[in-house]
Amino acid sequence: MNDSTYLTDPTKGPPLKQLLLLWGLALIIAFIGLGELSLRDFDEGIVARVSYELTQKKGLEILLPTLWDAPYLNKPPGLHWLIAGTIALTKQGATPLSEPPTEFVVRLVPAFLSTLVVPFGGLLQWEIRKGDRVSCLTTSAILLTLLPIARHGRLAMLDGPCLSAIALLWLLIASNKQTPGDRFRLLGLGLTGSCMLMLKAPLIIPASIAAVVPSVWSRELRAWWNWKFSIWLGLGLLPGFAWHIWHGLQRGTQAFWLWGGDGAGRVLFDLGEGSDMGWKVPVIEILEGGWPWLVLWPIGIIWAWKERNNRWGKWALGTQIILVLTILPLKTQLPWYSHPLWLPFSIICSPPLAWLITRENPKGKLGKKLLNQIPFFWIGLGGVLVCLSFLGISGVAQVISPFSKIAFVAGTGWALGGYLLTNPEQEKRQAGAYSLIAGSLCALALLMGSSLWLWELNENWPVKPLAELASKTDNALVFLEGNEERPSLNWYAGKQIKRLGNIENAKWVLTSNPKRVEQMLPSIKCNSIETHEKWALLFCNAKTQ
């Protein structure tokens, strides 16, 4: 990276070796401690069970996912099929499965697919900012080191794979040219669309619009598109649409729930969990998860606006604005709904980071004075983190103690990186960028190797001990008193444990308050069969006269 001409020569190809190296680092982060924590609610427990049930099906039945033998209508089964295949491989095709698969097996496929956004994002930047190898690499580096991408991607959820699919979708649209090879790019584009239709079907609409808008704005779509090419696009989309048609034929009007009820309709119009904060949820996610690169984002927006007449500016502004207009108005807001925003975020932040390394600026850059101050901000921020880590290690601030090593590693990398980026020599500035990336990456490795990375359970009690209590009842129905149904508890118990509604219909009850259960209906007598800490497994029947 010492030859500045090589770094910005459009006749050179993209830096594939470096992108593969960054992808390899993403895989390491994705797999560290992947199976050491329990599956979380709601999504992981549901995804695991649907995938597990698919392994028990034969023939065309595998096309129709179920959850506890009832039609599963929340999402298409694209990811579930892949997880089911992994389960079947690890069990060597044995049916029925003698025991549930491990957390590592359930999370393996989504974790792997989620890492693909790292090379895809860099290649996308290469296409829209042709010849800028440094921005290409810094885009992938930012995607590699963002906490939300690393953390959500490790979960058995659809958001990480969806982000990789969006990156590939945009890359294929951006790379189309006036050549015969466009037919194969359009075939790939259609297949990527099919993948999205089998992950989160409604998401394909805003994701496609976000890429089409800058293409139309640049008048590129008219240049390479012709109706003969649409045949190739249609062939690629055929598998995805074919499944939705098949699903509709088999399940009738229920199939529309994927699009209207549990698809776009619920999040657009229904006030669900997190709705009390509304648009503040995605804003908070960006403010919390964008470090240390967040300070580059305002400057990147200024640059994109200044360059709105060139290709990069149109893509940077177009994708960011469309996704913001899609996500902020949602009635139901959950932290992972903002996940698609990280791709345009990285596209916007990487050129300012690249400038800090190369300082190639023949015509001047708007916001350059402010950008020159950012390395000093990183020095200060890193210093604060190091000081906080010492407070935690020394025991002065015990609340910080579990995060002390993470804060020390990140702070050291950021402070040293900021210092080196102020150096007049490009080699030293390049080392500063490495330090920033290494500090974030090592901190992520420490976090993912600990028990701290899974903090959104929204529950204050573990499910595995209760699942063991429920297993004492063999195949009998068990009900949960005083709490909502937890899919992860169902998963580990191997059966559905519903919320207790009517004590008269329940013989086996899990509760943290046995007296309250008896008070619900005096004519019922409940005996404690086994306990775990504050929890008890009760057997209830009518009192003898």
pLDDT of 11? 59
Round to whole Å and give the CA distance between 456 and 443. Answer: 19
Token pair recorded at residue 418: 């900021």
Contact (CB, 8 A) for 55 and 97: yes
What SS3 state is found at 351?
Answer: helix
Q: Sort 435 into a burial class: Cβ within 10 Å, 0-12 / 13-18 / 19+.
A: buried
Quick check: bond before 335 cis, omega within 30?
no
Round to whole Å and give the CA distance between 69 and 418. Answer: 56
With tokens 């984002």, the residue in question is 297
Round to whole Å and give the CA distance between 268 and 141. Answer: 33
Strand partners, 541: 525
Residue 266 amino acid letter: R
CA dist 431 → 15, 352, 356, 537 (Å): 18, 16, 12, 59
pLDDT of 194? 96
Round to whole Å and give the CA distance between 357 and 371. Answer: 12
CA dist 324 → 261, 290, 413 (Å): 22, 16, 31
pLDDT of 96? 56
Contact (CB, 8 A) for 416 and 432: yes
Q: Which residues, other chains included, contact 6 with Cβ-Cβ below 8 Å and sequence gap of 6+? A: 12, 133
Token pair recorded at residue 395: 């025991």
Token pair recorded at residue 290: 């964008």
Helix, strand, coil shares, percent, the chain, to 5? 65, 5, 30
DSSP annotation of 509? E
Strands 535-542, 524-532: pairing kind: antiparallel
pLDDT of 99? 73
List the chain pLDDT tens, one digit each, 545 residues: 444 444 555 557 889 999 999 999 999 999 999 998 999 888 899 999 999 999 989 888 999 999 998 999 889 999 999 999 999 888 744 555 557 889 999 999 999 999 999 999 999 999 999 889 999 999 999 999 999 999 999 999 999 999 999 999 999 999 887 676 778 888 999 999 999 999 998 899 999 999 999 988 878 776 666 777 788 999 999 999 999 999 999 988 888 877 765 555 555 555 555 556 778 888 888 999 999 999 999 999 999 999 898 999 999 999 999 999 999 888 777 788 889 999 999 999 999 999 999 887 645 566 678 888 999 999 999 999 999 999 988 878 888 888 999 999 999 999 999 999 999 999 999 999 999 999 999 999 999 999 888 876 556 788 889 999 988 887 888 999 877 788 999 999 989 998 887 666 778 899 888 888 877 777 778 888 888 888 999 988 866 54
Q: Which residues, other chains included, contact 373 with Cβ-Cβ below 8 Å and sequence gap of 6+? A: none
pLDDT of 272? 56
pLDDT of 109? 96
First-last CA distance in the chain? 87
